[in-house]
Amino acid sequence: MMCLRKENSMQFNKVLEWLKLSSKQAFILFFISSILLFGQESLHKTLGLFVVKEAAKTWIGIVWLISIATISADIVVPLYAWVSKRIKWKFNLKKLQARLRNLSNDEKDFLAYYLQYDTRTQVAEISNGTVNGLIASKVIFRASSVAHFGYDFPFNINPWAWEYLRKYPECLN
């Protein structure tokens, strides 16, 4: 009884190993099984596959389903990841942009420098509360870990904030 279970387990493991198809392998199996399932009888007879097709139609159908599922998963999963990432980014961008519409006067003055001098970098003290608030809000980031003259570090404006403030400079009024 124990040997029978072990043998069945080994066969099941072989099936699982076989199911780990690459996209290329799945496409080849899909193509061949599609010809066998949906091709014309004359083609099957010409290739000498008519008898094989009739004898193994169920298995060919299973191979076709597994291959189409593998190909679909290889397309759908990355597509889903890309779409969900874009949706999440769009949602987060709206929240970040809302932050730019609710700036303190000190934050407005600090960010106005970028637009006034048409630059993406300015130097400020690392201990500046306004700077640290803008960093926490992901509006700016420290561009270098090397200080300029003591505690002054370069800070860059994030591209999304740069584009938004150039489009809507009234946020800084």
Say which residues have a Cβ less than 8 Å from residue 19's Cβ, sequence separation at least 6: 66
What is the pTM (predicted TM-score) of this model?
0.59
pLDDT digits (tens, 9 = 90+) for 60-71: 999 999 999 989
What is the per-residue pLDDT across 83-127, written as a single tens digit (0 to 9) for each?
999 999 999 999 999 999 999 999 999 999 999 999 999 999 999
138: left (phi over 0), alpha (psi -120 to 50) or beta: left
**Residue with structure tokens 């505690």?**
151
